[in-house]
Amino acid sequence: MRNGIHILTATLLVVAIFTTVRLPLWQGVLNLLLLVAFAVVYFGGSASLEALPKVARYGWLGILTVLWLADMAVAPAAIYLVFSLFFVYLYVLDLVPGIVSVVVATVVSVVVQIPGGLTFGGIMGPAVSALVTIAITYAFKALSRMNQELVETREQLVESEREAGMTAERQRIAHEIHDTLAQGLSSIQMLLHAADRDLAGEDIPKAQERIELARRTAADNLHEARAMIAALQPAALSETSLGAAMGRMAENFSATGGVDVSVDVEGDAQQLPMKVEAALLRIAQGAVGNVVKHAHASKARVTVTYAPDEVRVDVVDNGQGFDVAAVEGRPAGLGHIGLAAMRRRAEELGGEVAIESTPGAGAAVSVSVPLNNDVD
């Protein structure tokens, strides 16, 4: 808007200068001097208008108004500069003071024409110009306000999305920790308790075996922590296949939890995207970890099934079972985060988790992930 006002003012000044040729010499010279002074004050003040204090802005407007009034007394054509002043008043002043200034300037423009005789155009010209100027300025300020609100709304949306992303990332990391480090630490704790019992019974070889397994589990946990920091890629998958990683996981749980965990692979094994293999391994770890900690089972079986359109992992145990609806109805917390993590991991890949169990009849957890999701 400021550039438009500058162009309008420059154009009106040029028009006023050209009318000088029709004036007597002294009037022409005085008119030129006043127009030059108006131009210097206007463009000089506009260059630093934003940095000026409010009092200085009012003083700048006052000087422009005085120069305009003085030039109208010399050259009637100076009346056209009022169109520029309309915009300047509304731009610098608040809306109500600006409108009052425009009305006063319009009245002055009409009054100065009285000695030469008023005409319909002489009245309507300034009046209509004032109304148009007020309407344009009001619309421009409304659009500017709407644009500012849109910018603020967009910034709020960006901030909300960032916070949502941070929350999702925290949940994902919490699930990673639950399914890896927490499971490993739980296994180490059980191994060391078992080693204490073996030492109390003076079964030194068995105690040493359990301590060695605890050391290996701690090493695996360290690898898991480093993998999460590096790329959140399961250490068990970094150098082996999904089936082999499942076998190692079953071996660790069998040694630490007192549950016979076996692994079967059905179908033609194929290389899956790392994200899919990592999710399936984490879900299996969570399911077997729940069997060891809660099911009081003696056996568990993990089956990896490769089908043409999906890969499925089933974890079945012969434990005491549980009421699925009751467990999933609890508030999310440490006792229930594993089931939520399983479902979230599967849903992220377009898959699903099915849990079947009844008290006293064991439990079965099945996760299936489609192979046509173009997962990276």
Residues of the chain within CATH 3.30.565.10 domain(s) are 160-370
Total Cβ atoms within 10 A of residue 276 = 20
Q: Which of 166, 175, 173, 165 has the alpha carbon at shortest distance from 334?
A: 175
Pairwise CA distance, residues 131 & 103, whole Å: 9
Buried b / exposed e over 161-182, threshold 16 CB at 10 Å, is eeeeeeeeeeeeeebbbbbbeb
Report DSSP state, residue 295.
I
DSSP structure class, residue 23: S
Helices (H) and strands (E) in the chain, counts: 12, 5
List the one residue out of 139, 83, 74 whose CA is nearest residue 112. 74
Cα separation of 177 and 72, whole Å?
82
Cβ pair 100, 86 in contact under 8 A:
no
Residue written as token pair 């399914």: 179
Rounded Cα distance, 351 and 115, in Å: 89
Nearest residue to 292 (alpha-carbon basis) of 171, 366, 175, 188: 188
Instruction: Tell me which residues of the chain have a pLDDT lower than 50.
Output: 231, 333-336
- At 312 the pLDDT is 94
Residue type, 142: A
The amino acid sitting at 108 is V
d(CA 292, CA 256): 9
DSSP-assigned letters across all residues of 232-253: S--GGGSSS-HHHHHHHHHHHH
3-class DSSP assignment, residue 207: helix
120-170 pLDDT, tens digit each:
787 888 888 888 888 888 888 888 888 888 888 888 887 777 677 667 767
pTM listed for this prediction: 0.44
CATH number, domain 160-370: 3.30.565.10
Nearby residues of 182 by Cβ (< 8 Å), 6 or more positions away: none
Q: Are 60 and 48 in contact (CB under 8 A)?
A: no
Question: Which of 261, 285, 253, 251 is CA-nearest to residue 367?
Answer: 285
Taking the C-alpha atoms of residue 58 and residue 207, their distance in angstroms, rounded to an integer, is 91
Q: CA-CA distance, 326 to 75, in Å (whole number)?
A: 93
In whole angstroms, give the CA distance from residue 110 to residue 90: 20
Gyration radius of the chain over CA positions: 41
Q: Which amino acid is at 129?
A: S
d(CA 250, CA 238): 17
Listed residue (142, 45, 119, 26) closest to 84, CA to CA: 45
How far apart CA 187 and CA 179 sit, in angstroms, is 12
Q: What is the DSSP letter of 273?
A: P
The predicted pLDDT at position 155 comes to 81
